Amino acid sequence: MKETWKIFGFYMLIIAFMLVCSGAFGQTKFCKEDICVVEFNAAWNESNGADYLGKLTDCGVKRILIDKGDWQKEYNIIIVPTIIVFNGEEVKRFQADLSFKMLATREDVQEVVDEIIMSDF
């Protein structure tokens, strides 16, 4: 019986260690990568999303629909789509124009990602 508790305690210690370390490397809660590009949009506006996100390099990408959850309030999303580049915290925000179309190009977003990478050197 004591041996079972020792094994259980050991596994709990490992799980606790993994939880503590999971946030220690600068990852965002959206991506596994340190640099993460997140597009916040709404279901009714998906046709105006940034179709180039999958072509970005050296970063993780996530699309979030703000229709459900507190995303809009938590990240102060005023207009959709909004693209935010994270590196542990918000680095740059691109917002749509009044017609709900994203004006930022793939090159604009990739430039921010590249600047973050170059600033580490």
Q: Print the SS3 string covering 58-101.
A: CCEEEEEECCCCCHHHHCCCCCCCEEEEECCCEEEEEECCCCCC
This prediction has a pTM of 0.76
Domain range for 73: 27-119
Asked, for residue 82, whether it belongs to a domain, the answer is yes
Contact 83, 37 (CB under 8 A): yes
Question: Can you tell me whether residue 106 is helix, strand or coil?
Answer: helix
Asked, for residue 72, whether it belongs to a domain, the answer is yes
Asked, for residue 103, whether it belongs to a domain, the answer is yes
- Give the whole-angstrom CA distance, residue 32 versus residue 9: 28
**pLDDT tens, residue by residue, 99-110:** 999 999 999 999
Chain-centre distance of CA 76, in angstroms?
15
Contact 62, 30 (CB under 8 A): yes
Count of domains for the chain: 1
Asked, for residue 77, whether it belongs to a domain, the answer is yes
Asked, for residue 35, whether it belongs to a domain, the answer is yes
**pLDDT tens, residue by residue, 28-38:** 578 899 999 99
- Give the whole-angstrom CA distance, residue 23 versus residue 20: 6
Domain of residue 73, CATH code: 3.40.30.10
Would you write out the chain's pLDDT as a tens digit for each of its 121 residues? Answer: 666 666 655 555 555 555 444 444 444 578 899 999 999 999 999 999 999 999 999 999 999 999 989 999 999 999 999 999 999 999 999 999 999 999 999 999 999 999 999 997 7
Asked, for residue 2, whether it belongs to a domain, the answer is no
Residue 114 phi/psi, 5-degree rounding, is -65, -40
Asked, for residue 1, whether it belongs to a domain, the answer is no
